[in-house]
Chain A
């Protein structure tokens, strides 16, 4: 058991190393470098030299990679391309804001998705199921910018309940984002809920068809007891990983949603950095997002190992 977790942790570390190589190597492989990208047509002569010297681009690639990684490990991500601001400080506030947004979306979405998924499975093909399953398909297929725009159209424009655009500055206290943040939360939660709901539903339906579910019925276990003791623990185990994948997806979806709502988070920062061709910032954001992705998946795997007796205990005899 412990060996499995250690193994998984090592694999996670390998993944992080690999991602950092891809982020760094990807930029190296692309034509030009951070300075030519930033300066565009002015990339020549003194201006270019100064920029390169400031970013240390004159050093060999492996040395820069090593410096980048070892500094990043200490929380130092260097400066923006203009050299005026520390990336670490810029990212700090934004990260917090994005965490607030995604955290609220998860808090609202995951329990709702679990509940609705189970309900849809237990009342399969009845009105409840048809309603929520269709809504889920709708929510998970249409693009986020459409659902976000629809939310704004309905709740801000027509009903006038909540402002559709967030004007709060990035470094404001978190509480000041309310209530405007509710719309982006809803937009994010919708897609996530839909995905998890569908997974939970099919997992529960599959478990209901298992031999042990039939056995529970045939040994006279009352219905709800069967659902809670025999079905749900087995059906919900595999959904841990899907929840993790969905959370990882949130990090991508948040880019679009933050832009739609003008929310000062990591996602918008990413779009801005790419528009500004500020590669150091883009690389930092990529690394942070990859870290979260790997971390969440790792957590899910460890949780699954802890919760699943098949993984937790050794097989003492082979069948």
Chain B
């Protein structure tokens, strides 16, 4: 009887997509952690887009006189083992990762989402069989799956984007399918079926609007995991090729000189961590705002 203790959230008003986005962002910014996430995220995006215009040095500029020099007025974060400016390379080091994951994430959400909704609505033997296949794919560690493809096809963007989008779309299939199952059981879908609407109408009008939020939150989470995967590959030497600056690669290179030049690892580490934490905080706040109950999952 008494549900008044938690006043109902003001329902999202119908309106333009832009207005809805602004409303959601404002809601995210209401909590301290959500605001922190948004700030971190926008800062990173801003730097990634504009850094080439204002970084102090050329990221390729090798200077044998300045190898591993300590932070100072000229080089705020010191230089690396080739005498390149660490600050410049750190500021530019996220561009590749953000570009790859920024394209791969929406692709993964779309293909995983549609496939999941389709099988969730269809059900039956086909669905069972396909889910076995999905489970089997998930039982292999991501790093193995990715590495095999990368070693076979090479390490360009044209390999990274489809590979990440493919493998990270698979867990999204499961999320979309589960969300679809929940919605299909509800009476408004049954009502639409009984009226005689076609399957595409039911997907578009009844299912998608109700599955959308879960997919958005899942997409945000997957984004951070993709970044993590991309940087790990880069760290292991399977990512971008030098001299392109990339955080993972920078950390891997600077590790060898960690004992006397720790700034070399610290700068890219702080950059990458703050981006991933920013995405996670935003995703968490997004889940709360949209009322999506995000079950804790291991990043398989």
Q: Which residues of A are interface residues toward B (Cβ below 8 A)?
A: 14-15, 18-19, 21-23, 26-27, 30-32, 37, 137-138, 141-146, 149-150, 152-153, 157, 195, 198-199, 202, 242, 245-246, 248-249, 251-252, 255-256, 259, 270-271, 274-275, 277, 282, 285-286, 289-290, 293-294
Asked if A14 meets B236 with Cβ closer than 8 Å, knowing A141-B276, A274-B147, the reply is no
Asked if A15 meets B296 with Cβ closer than 8 Å, knowing A146-B272, A153-B262, A289-B141, the reply is no
Which partner residue on chain B sits nearest A194 by CB separation? B296
Q: List 21 A-B contacts (CB under 8 A).
A: A15-B132, A18-B132, A22-B136, A137-B277, A137-B280, A138-B277, A143-B248, A143-B276, A145-B252, A146-B272, A157-B259, A246-B298, A249-B298, A249-B299, A252-B141, A255-B141, A255-B143, A255-B144, A256-B236, A290-B136, A293-B139
Which partner residue on chain B sits nearest A18 by CB separation? B136
Write out the residue numbers on chain B whose beta carbons fall within 8 Å of the beta carbon of A146: 251, 269, 272-273
Which stretch from B50-58, B204-212, B224-232 is at the chain A interface? B224-232
Contact of B232 among A141, A150, A256 (CB under 8 A): A256
Q: Given known contacts A202-B296, A270-B147, what 5 new A-B pairs fall within 8 Å (CB)?
A: A142-B272, A242-B298, A245-B300, A248-B139, A256-B143
* Interface residues in B, total, Cβ within 8 A: 43
Q: Is the CB of B258 within 8 A of A152?
A: yes
Contact of B258 among A32, A157, A271 (CB under 8 A): A157
Cα-based distance from A22 to B137 in the complex (angstroms): 7
Q: Is the CB of B141 within 8 A of A153?
A: no
Write out the residue numbers on chain B whose beta carbons fall within 8 Å of the beta carbon of A290: 136, 139-140
User: Is there a chain A Cβ closer than 8 Å to B76's Cβ?
Assistant: no
Closest chain-A Cβ to B87's Cβ sits at a distance in Å of: 19
Contact of A199 among B262, B296, B299, B300 (CB under 8 A): B296
Cα-based distance from A30 to B152 in the complex (angstroms): 8
Task: Output the residue of A31, A32, A145 with the most chain B CB within 10 A.
Answer: A145
Write out the residue numbers on chain B whose beta carbons fall within 8 Å of the beta carbon of A198: 296
Contact of A271 among B236, B269, B297 (CB under 8 A): B236
Q: Is the CB of A149 within 8 A of B269?
A: yes
Closest chain-A Cβ to B90's Cβ sits at a distance in Å of: 14
Q: Which residues of B are interface residues toward A (Cβ below 8 A)?
A: 132-133, 135-137, 139-144, 147-149, 151-152, 224, 228, 231-232, 235-236, 248, 251-252, 255, 258-259, 262, 265, 269, 272-273, 276-277, 280-281, 284, 296-300
Q: Is the CB of A19 within 8 A of B236?
A: no
Write out the residue numbers on chain A whose beta carbons fall within 8 Å of the beta carbon of B137: 22
Closest chain-A Cβ to B126's Cβ sits at a distance in Å of: 15
Q: Is the CB of B272 within 8 A of A143?
A: yes
Q: Is the CB of A195 within 8 A of B296?
A: yes
Cα-based distance from A275 to B149 in the complex (angstroms): 12
Which partner residue on chain B sits nearest A164 by CB separation? B258
Write out the residue numbers on chain A whose beta carbons fall within 8 Å of the beta carbon of B251: 145-146, 149
Which partner residue on chain B sits nearest A20 by CB separation? B136
Q: Which 7 pairs across A and B sit closest by C-beta, in order of nearness?
A: A252-B141, A18-B136, A245-B298, A249-B298, A199-B296, A293-B139, A19-B136
Write out the residue numbers on chain B whose beta carbons fall within 8 Å of the beta carbon of A242: 296-298
Which partner residue on chain A sits nearest B260 by CB separation? A157
Q: Is the CB of B148 within 8 A of A142?
A: no
Asked if A19 meets B139 with Cβ closer than 8 Å, knowing A137-B280, A143-B232, A249-B299, the reply is yes
Closest chain-A Cβ to B237's Cβ sits at a distance in Å of: 8
Q: Is the CB of A286 within 8 A of B144?
A: yes
Closest chain-A Cβ to B40's Cβ sits at a distance in Å of: 11
Cα-based distance from A307 to B149 in the complex (angstroms): 41
Contact of B300 among A252, A255, A259, A294 (CB under 8 A): A252
Cα-based distance from A138 to B148 in the complex (angstroms): 30
Write out the residue numbers on chain A whose beta carbons fall within 8 Å of the beta carbon of B277: 137-138, 141-142
Q: Is the CB of A15 within 8 A of B232?
A: no
Asked if A274 meets B148 with Cβ closer than 8 Å, knowing A15-B132, A137-B280, the reply is yes
Write out the residue numbers on chain B whose beta carbons fall within 8 Å of the beta carbon of A255: 141, 143-144
Which partner residue on chain A sits nearest B227 by CB separation? A143
Q: Is the CB of A142 within 8 A of B273?
A: yes
Cα-based distance from A248 to B144 in the complex (angstroms): 13
Which partner residue on chain A sits nearest B273 by CB separation? A142
Closest chain-A Cβ to B230's Cβ sits at a distance in Å of: 10
